Structure 1
Amino acid sequence: MQSDTVRLLRYALPFKGTLGAALVVALVGAAFEVARPWPTKVIVDYALSGRPFPPWLAELTGSTPSLATRPGLIVAAVLASVFLVICSAAASLATQVIVFGVAQKMVVSLSGQVFSKLQRLSLSFHQRHAVGDLTQRLGGDVFVVQAAICAVGIPAIASLLSLFGMVFLMLRLDAVLALVTLSMVPLLLLALLVFKKPMHKANEQQWRRQGEMMAFINQSLSGVRLIQGYAREAYFERLMAGHALGLGDAYVKSMRIGAGYMQVTTIITALVGATLLGVGSMRVLDGALTLGDLLVFLGYLAMIATPITGIATAIGTATALNSRGRRVLEILDSSEEVSQRKNSVTLQSVRGDVEFAGVSFGYPGNSPDASAGPEPLVFSDISFRARAGQVTAIIGVTGAGKSSMVSLLSRFYDPTSGVIRLDGHDLRDLALKPLRESVAVVSQDPVLFPMTVQENIAFGRPGATRNEIIAAAKTACAHEFIEALPNGYDTKIAERGASLSGGERQRISLARAVLKDAPILILDEPTSSLDAHTEAEIFASLSKRIEGKTAFIISHRLSTIRRADQIVSLENGRIVERGTHDVLVSGQGVYSRLYESQNIAAL
């Protein structure tokens, strides 16, 4: 199975040119780093001991007389050492600046793709995943690509380049010591094999726990009004403490295993270093190495731990990132259960003729596994037709499937069986965006965004003029209370519309649907938070705006729907009667019973 970290590194491909430049700079930096111990050899073997100069040094001192003296050679070697340190640091800094810039662009790109995918995934996916967990994945886990480049990819390559350079020069100096150095490779691989599975499991548990806690926090803050109203703060504090304790335990376990792995690699490196020191000293005593050679080796001994530890750290980090990467890729790999077919049809003009033909529907299961299958059917074998321009009212007791039925018109879900047609076309054959643009929805629990009132009303028609927005607000009986707000239509609404009453939120939502001016209008308990007088005013004003539109009205207030062209009664997931108010009220069915219970006749 392909590593999730490797898959995420593919997001670096658009920046391969910039990353290539970073690798070149890293290579130059590695060269400077590898050369750092050599000025020491020059001072010890040639400036201090008086040994004959090698050809390259003899040529250099011959062309520069000031280097021919021992003090001059020492000064030159010291300056060369300083130069190498500065160049190595500059190359490292330049590499980091380039890499972090690319990594940030990768995060922006990946987060955009994840957000776009979440926007396209069906409501059933969102029902299976807590909002807080998805927020954690989008706002936190996407940074895995930054870590993959900054803590795995580039550091690992730079460490390998430095290690190869050191090993090459060590082989030139003494093959025996070089082989001792390479003996740590199989030991490090063995340590990785031992720790990889526990590290992966611990990291996976840690990020799952963090997602669960974020979901709990999101739910708690969203329901803080209810929590305070029922004085349940202490209970939720205990629940939060439980989540925090679980996350803390998972974090400690992950850190403990990671620290264990790092300590094992440190011990392996130290043991090999001690062996190198002992064997190298014996080689000097035997005359196989000069004192300068030994000092170069000792310099590499101090330096070689850095690239080896860097490689080991990169491997451990990659293992940890796999867990977070999988949480991101899980979203990107999710199938779009409600997808647009190839060669889909775009209706140039929507009349609004809607037909349900033998439609049955059950919500997909709430298990994170979408393949678990649907829940029991909400309704079955629904067949009726709403002609273009007709007003269809849907009634029934709570849970009868009224809202579920109209939600299929926007293809939030697809029917379990049967066909829904719009102007003679199966909804599944229509292009998704134009279809949804032809439907305006007002629900009993309206969603308002933390934007201005004007922006919320114009949400479905961003190019609307101020006068058109005001006209829509007047139709929804919202103009007066909007004008009374601190900044009128430019007043910014609090998150979730918390700064408005339930009735005010519904009226803004209704104004939004009116302004959209779609050929199909769905009113799902649109005035449930309003008094009867305001409701009557709204529907009197609304009746003129919906002429010629196909409207579906769901309401428990029969006064709202009695003038509908047809009324569909649902009971136990089936249509039990259909007709006009006059026909149904004279019968003995669902509508008649509801009519009597509300004492409509007395009104």
Structure 2
Amino acid sequence: MRALPERDPGTPDHRSAGRYLLWLARRQWWPLAVAAVYLTVYMSLQALHPVVLGAAVDDGLASGDPERLLLWGAALLAMSVGIALLITPTHRAEAFNWYASAYRTVQVVTRRSAHLGATLTRRLPTGEVVAVGTTDIDDIGEMFERVARLASAVLTIALVSALMLWSSVQMGLAVLIGVPLIVLCSGPLLRPLHRRESRQRDLQAAVATRATDIVAGLRVLRGIGGERVSETRYTAESQRARAAGVHVGWLTAALHALQVLLPGLLMAGIIWLGARLALAGEITPGQLVTFYGYTAFLMIPVSDLMRTTNFIVSAHVSARRIVRILSLPHDLPEPEQPADAPDGPVDLHDAGSGVTVRADRLTGIACTDMEQATLIADRLGRYHDDPDSDVTMRPAAAGGPDGAASPTRLRDLPLDHVRRRILVAANGAVLFSGPLRGELSPDGGATDERIHAAVRTACADDIVDALPGGLDGHVADHGREFSGGQQQRLRLARALLADPDVLILLEPASAVDAHTESAIAGRLGAARQGRTTAVLTTSPLLLDRTDHVVFVDGGRVVAEGTHRELLRTEPRYARTVLRSAADDDGDTPATGRAVPASAGESR
């Protein structure tokens, strides 16, 4: 049995739900074939039971030969042992197919979701994304667990039909005609079931979206007295989803009833026909026993055949939602002909604002408007494409604007490459649940020495020391056990450990006290030495420790120099940073100065 999940899930075919399911089947055709073989042998041994039993009646019991009877009894025992031995590998094969298809779906959906970033939540409701990660993946797994039974059911029904035709043409024809008719009778219910399940899933997604919004905004709702309104809306939407579920339930119940009734009618008809043939002397008593056993056995593959169609319908509905995510276009298109990215340290230049972030420098960017700061950060990290403003990357060895190397536009580089080299760390970045060590170094590649160095630079030593278990201590969802300032310092440590070629920090110390902010400012330059680093802030403590400051007013660079030079020569700059210093309240439970959470890691 292979280990799961596989390292490379492959590139899915997302042109339609059916094509996606076929792609999954092709990717794991061998495990599906193994499961089908196990099931076919398992079911065939059961199908041969009536043959051996009938032969025992005619050849052993009717003739009064105890040796022949003992021989047929031994054959029955051997077949029963074979069936028992096949139960475990058959179940393992089916379970493997469930997990393989579910894990592969999780991998491709997660990979696509990570690539889409904020595009996903802008294009699809949160509840629909949640539903894919819960109900839809289960449905895909259940279909692939059962699909091997479809093949084994067809093969064993064909085997029983051939055996019955060999013994009695009338009985064989009854099976060959009756089974397809049973399957066709359930066909008219499948389309409305598909339609009703699709509607129910959409309503469930809407309810999940509503619940997510309520939980996220509960504090605001309580502040404005909106709990009752939200409760009323949630109740109405959940009742609509419940009613849709009842409609699906009625149709599913009718389908299940048919799956019991129709095979039962077929069984009764075959028994009636067999009894008439036995009374007429056309078949022996042993053959009658055999035909009865065949009929009882046929209930199993026929039911499997019909129930598997239910799972296929549910999986197709789920695959449509999965394909919707996989086929979403990114807000930032990939270049048709990607350019070669410059190697080594690079300078970034934003034509829209005139800001240049040079390599081997700690550049401060002070904006009179925080929205402009967020927009500049978004452009520098290519989270926003402005058709009138290109951001370019130039090798630091080019010697600045007059260097010989041609700049490369970020939009001409593959998006994955930009994400690997440029990190925008904003205050909307999420802290995930789990061990603190894994939170700070998600890829697990950082040594304890590097982690402690980043933690010290971010002045987060006290957080690690106070957490039970230290680096191995557990962090709650969204880091809710930490204050706003503590969360901010942990986010900064995580960004430093990522060690990108270009690091863009958006107000990295807005929620800490002045003493901690000063310590961070003094350590940041040394931690990022030899790298390209920009700090978008209006904090005089941070700006005073940068190598170069760019002042942006009205969306354009209006002055450059050191912090102290600009204080003396640029009154607007002085008003901006000194007002910021007066507004700083220190370590807070929130994020301090208002910073839009639309840039960088928050995406």
Aligned AA (2:373) = K
**Aligned-pair distance for 1:482?**
4.0
Q: Which residue of 2 aligns with 1:404?
A: 375
Q: Which residue of 2 aligns with 1:521?
A: 503
**Aligned-pair distance for 1:233?**
7.1
Length-normalised TM-score, structure 2: 0.77
Residues 54 and 286 in structure 2, CA contact (< 8 A), matched pair in contact too = yes
Identity of aligned residues (%): 22
Q: Distance in 2 between matches of 1:507 and 1:235?
A: 37
**Aligned-pair distance for 1:170?**
1.7
Q: Which residue of 1 aligns with 2:478?
A: 496
Q: Which residue of 2 aligns with 1:167?
A: 161
**Aligned-pair distance for 1:200?**
0.7
Q: Which residue of 1 aligns with 2:306?
A: 312
Q: Distance in 1 between matches of 2:15 and 2:488?
A: 50
Q: Which residue of 2 aligns with 1:391?
A: 363
Q: Distance in 2 between matches of 1:455 and 1:74?
A: 68
Distance 1:20 1:446, change over 3 A: closer
Residues 17 and 316 in structure 2, CA contact (< 8 A), matched pair in contact too = yes
Alignment of 1:507-518 (within 5 A): 507-516=489-498, 518=500
Distance 1:89 1:158, change over 3 A: farther
Q: Distance in 2 between matches of 1:519 and 1:75?
A: 81
Structure 2: 5+ residue stretches without partners? 1-13, 395-406, 584-603
Deviations 1:323-355 (A, max 9, x none): 112223333334455466565423321232x22
Alignment of 1:429-440 (within 5 A): 429-440=412-423
Q: Which residue of 1 aligns with 2:461?
A: 479
Q: Which residue of 2 aligns with 1:568?
A: 552
Residues 390 and 548 in structure 1, CA contact (< 8 A), matched pair in contact too = no
**Aligned-pair distance for 1:156?**
0.9
Aligned AA (1:118) = S
Q: Which residue of 2 aligns with 1:275?
A: 269
Partner of 1:568, secondary structure, is: strand
Aligned AA (2:48) = A
Alignment of 1:283-362 (within 5 A): 283-338=277-332, 341=335, 344-352=339-347, 354-357=348-351
User: Aligned pair 1:426/2:397, yes or no?
Assistant: no
Alignment of 1:66-465 (within 5 A): 69-131=64-126, 133-151=128-146, 153-219=147-213, 241-242=235-236, 244-338=238-332, 341=335, 344-352=339-347, 354-357=348-351, 382-388=353-359, 389=361, 391-397=363-369, 400-423=371-394, 424-453=407-436, 455-458=438-441, 462-464=445-447
Q: Distance in 2 between matches of 1:44 and 1:454?
A: 71
Alignment of 1:541-580 (within 5 A): 541-542=523-524, 550-555=532-537, 561=543, 565-570=549-554, 574-575=555-556
Q: Distance in 2 between matches of 1:2 and 1:549?
A: 43
Aligned AA (1:569) = D
Distance 1:310 1:471, change over 3 A: closer
Which range is displaced more, 250-259 or 273-282? 273-282
Alignment of 1:42-81 (within 5 A): 42-47=55-60, 69-81=64-76
Distance 1:30 1:514, change over 3 A: closer
Residues 124 and 413 in structure 1, CA contact (< 8 A), matched pair in contact too = no
Q: Distance in 2 between matches of 1:498 and 1:195?
A: 49
User: Aligned pair 1:11/2:24, yes or no?
Assistant: yes
Residues 199 and 258 in structure 1, CA contact (< 8 A), matched pair in contact too = yes
Q: Distance in 2 between matches of 1:443 and 1:286?
A: 88
Aligned AA (2:550) = Q
**Aligned-pair distance for 1:425?**
0.9
**Aligned-pair distance for 1:303?**
2.0
Q: Distance in 2 between matches of 1:551 and 1:421?
A: 15
Partner of 2:346, secondary structure, is: coil
Aligned AA (1:293) = Q
Q: Which residue of 2 aligns with 1:538?
A: 520
Distance 1:295 1:527, change over 3 A: same
Residues 567 and 578 in structure 1, CA contact (< 8 A), matched pair in contact too = yes
Q: Distance in 2 between matches of 1:461 and 1:173?
A: 67
Residues 393 and 552 in structure 1, CA contact (< 8 A), matched pair in contact too = yes
Deviations 1:353-399 (A, max 9, x none): x2223x5xxxxxxxxxxxxxxxxxxxxxx55544553735242445x
Residues 456 and 512 in structure 1, CA contact (< 8 A), matched pair in contact too = yes
**Aligned-pair distance for 1:213?**
4.3
User: Aligned pair 1:31/2:44, yes or no?
Assistant: yes
Q: Distance in 1 between matches of 2:185 and 2:92?
A: 32
Partner of 1:523, secondary structure, is: strand
Q: Distance in 1 between matches of 2:302 and 2:15?
A: 25
**Aligned-pair distance for 1:475?**
3.5
